């Protein structure tokens, strides 16, 4: 019931701000597609660059949608509205609160990524997005929702979340196999960037969309990230409860 309560809260918030959420999910990715995909006529790996770009934009859109849906809202609730204090004293198990936040944020990211899929369907790139694509998008959203929970508890004030986005989320959006392959990044840095969750997601969605099989190692890596950040989120919340 605790998880359903959190998801109902996310649904009410989504229904209230539907148009704002939808427009926010569309504008930046559309600019990327227009500027890089249509404005720059080039190719990648022997295919039109747009075929490389679309899966990357879908991946970063699910990342941004999930992270922002959790980190910003939970930070405001914790520091300013003091709504989290009510959660601490309620009978709802804290693991259900965490699970609800992660699932709710992941659904928001999946919605944002789905919008981009719908907008790019008329282009006729030949890319195929199926149930595996949606599963990877959901898993990616879950990872960054868990990161959002951690960041919301690390933040000392409302400005800390945008700073984290500028230092971590934005560089990942541009470097992690979205606009160009991580193979072009030399040495250790390239290997490090390739191991990040967004790089794994971009690789998975791009491979599936091109008709390739599912790389289960990448799925495992994303799952490990999800477990690790979920444990970190649990630690911060239980630490807060025991203060």
Q: pLDDT per residue over 92-106, tens digit each? A: 777 888 888 899 999
Lowest mean pLDDT segment, chosen from 2-16, 56-70, 121-135, 176-190: 2-16
pLDDT (0 to 100) of residue 48: 79
Distances (CA, A) of 173 to 5, 53, 64, 85, 167: 32, 12, 9, 33, 11
Do the strands 43-44 and 47-48 form a parallel or antiparallel pair, or are they unpaired? antiparallel
How far, in Å, CA of 100 to CA of 97, rounded?
Answer: 5
Residues 6+ apart with CB under 8 A from 36: 49, 53, 179
How far, in Å, CA of 3 to CA of 1, rounded?
Answer: 5
- The owner of tokens 């009510």 is 86
| DSSP one-letter code for 43 | E
Distances (CA, A) of 1 to 63, 94, 97, 209, 210: 27, 12, 10, 37, 40
How far, in Å, CA of 7 to CA of 16, rounded?
Answer: 14
Per-residue pLDDT tens over the stretch 121-161: 877 778 889 999 999 999 999 999 999 999 988 888 777 88
């Amino acid at each position: 019931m605790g998880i359903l309560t959190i998801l109902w809260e996310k649904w009410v918030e989504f229904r209230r701000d539907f148009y704002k959420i939808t427009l926010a999910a569309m504008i930046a990715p559309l600019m990327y597609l227009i500027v890089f995909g249509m404005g720059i006529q080039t190719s990648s790996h022997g295919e039109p660059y747009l075929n490389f770009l679309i899966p990357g934009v879908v991946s970063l859109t699910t990342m941004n949608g999930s992270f922002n849906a959790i980190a910003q809202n939970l930070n405001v609730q914790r520091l300013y509205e003091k709504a989290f204090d009510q959660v601490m004293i309620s009978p709802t198990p804290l693991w259900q609160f965490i699970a609800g936040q992660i699932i709710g944020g992941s659904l928001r990211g999946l919605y944002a990524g789905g919008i981009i899929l719908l907008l790019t369907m008329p282009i006729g790139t030949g890319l195929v997005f199926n149930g595996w694509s949606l599963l990877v998008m959901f898993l990616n959203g879950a990872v960054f929702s868990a990161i959002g929970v951690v960041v919301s508890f690390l933040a000392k004030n409302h400005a800390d979340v945008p700073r984290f986005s500028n230092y971590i989320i934005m560089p990942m959006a541009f470097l992690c196999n979205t606009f160009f392959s991580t193979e072009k990044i030399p040495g250790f840095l390239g290997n490090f960037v390739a191991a990040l969750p967004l790089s794994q997601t971009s690789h998975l969605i791009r491979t599936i969309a091109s008709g390739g099989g599912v790389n289960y190692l990448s799925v495992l890596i994303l799952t490990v990230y999800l477990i690790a950040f979920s444990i970190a989120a649990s630690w911060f919340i239980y630490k807060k409860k025991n203060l």
